[in-house]
Every structure is written in structure tokens, then in C-alpha cells.
Structure 1
Amino acid sequence: MYNSRKKPMEEIAEEMTAIWSCTNETCNGWMRDNFSFSSNPTCPQCQSPMEKGEKKLAVLVNTNPRRNGE
């Protein structure tokens, strides 16, 4: 038997997050600052320079010990 009742969607916590955005106008690449491997990364899609900014994103925790110590 099929249960047609759906569980209510859980609210996903969001916060303003530091990101790197690609400076190339034709590329939409971006990454979270705490997931980048460099203090001044290049875009992994087009190799252009990236600039720091902010974006409202779902909360994620990076457990990589190399990044937490920076």
C-alpha cells in the first residue's frame, strides 16, 4: 500500500559564507573559502583568477585538519 502523506521538509540552516568567485564573465565557477586549497585560488574550471565574496549557503562543516589550522 502506498502512503501518500509526505514527511514535512526539514528546514536547512543557511548563513552568509565566504566564497571565491571566478572573475571570468563567461564562467560561473565558485567555491567555499574553507574548502579551497590555496589562499588565492584559480578557477578549477577555466584557470582564471578568483575574487573573494559572500553567498548565502547551507551550513557545512569542513573537518579537514589542514584547513582548520589556517
Structure 2
Amino acid sequence: MYYSRKRTLNDIPEELTAIWSCTNESCNGWMRDNFVFLVQPTCSMCHSPMEKGEKLLPAVANTSPIQSKQ
């Protein structure tokens, strides 16, 4: 019998998370709001403006001590 050490996707809890999405239609860039360091971020892939939204994602905690938005 085989036992995998990896957690299955069903074991990871998901929550509705605030994100920033790229406004460029040809780019699919996005980032979690709690990992952004600017009040109005730009896309790191195409440098277009980003807009706020929500997405159902696995729960992740940002424990960085320097999480202040400028």
C-alpha cells in the first residue's frame, strides 16, 4: 500500500481572499492583498495598473514583520 506525504487538495481549507488583479486583458497576473506593499500596486509581469477583487484561495498567513503599505 502507498501512502503519500503530500496533503490532498481537500485537506487545505479555502477562504474568500482579497486580491489585486491585473487590468490588462492579455495578462493573468494577480496577488494577495496581504502580500502587497503599496496602496495601489502595479502588475509585476506587465506593469499595468491593478484592481481590487476577491478570489477563493487556500488560507495562507503573512507573518512578515514589515507589512506596511506605503
Q: How large is the RMSD of aligned CA atoms in angstroms?
A: 1.8
Tell me the TM-score normalized by structure 1. 0.83
Partners of 1:22 and 1:5 in 2: how far apart?
A: 42
Shift >4 Å, 4+ stretches:
none
**Map of 2:56 onto structure 1:** 56
Q: Tell me which amino acid in the other structure corresponds to 2:28.
A: N
Tell me the TM-score normalized by structure 2. 0.83
SS in 2 for 1:20: strand
SS in 1 for 2:66: helix
Give 1:66 deviation, angstroms: 2.1
Give 1:37 deviation, angstroms: 1.4
Q: Equivalent residues in 2 for 1:5-44 (5 A)?
A: 5-7=2-4, 9=8, 11-44=11-44
Partners of 2:19 and 2:54 in 1: how far apart?
A: 5
Between the two proteins, the alignment pairs up a number of residues equal to: 66
Task: Give unpaired runs (5+ residues) of structure 2.
Answer: none
**Bigger-Rg structure (1/2):** 1
